[in-house]
Structure 1
Amino acid sequence: MAGQDGLNDAHRKFDPAAGAAYIRFPGEPENEEASEGLVLGLDERGKIVGMESLEASKHVAPEIRRKLSERT
């Protein structure tokens, strides 16, 4: 059962040195740049199974970055 943040089945990481955040759900993603600094991982049906923000330090709230760092 998913926790309150809905990320129990996800691999998540925030890299403060790179300023990047990554969330990946189960599946084998094909990466596609959605916009500058935002990469989506899509499964074979086009469903989003991952997301990477390359400038997360600028665009993701500190409390969300903390949650991403809690479990890798």
Structure 2
Amino acid sequence: MATKRQTMPTPVPNRPTARTRGIRVTDELWDKAKAHAHERGEYLADVINESLERYVAKAEKEAKAKAQRDQAND
């Protein structure tokens, strides 16, 4: 039986590289965040992505520090 050859999908113009996600956010928080982003000339999606990047960077830094402490205690 022949195996199917994997091919790369054809790029689609103007297609974002990030997938759309669904999250639960209160209307009040969403509206305030959207208003602040608009006032600053930013997209709310960019604000959310930057916040998630900071969150992940902090978690990775904390995990690395914990691993170093654990290694020092061994």
TM-score, normalised to structure 2, is: 0.21
TM-score, normalised to structure 1, is: 0.21
Bigger CA radius of gyration: 2
Structure with bigger strand share is 1
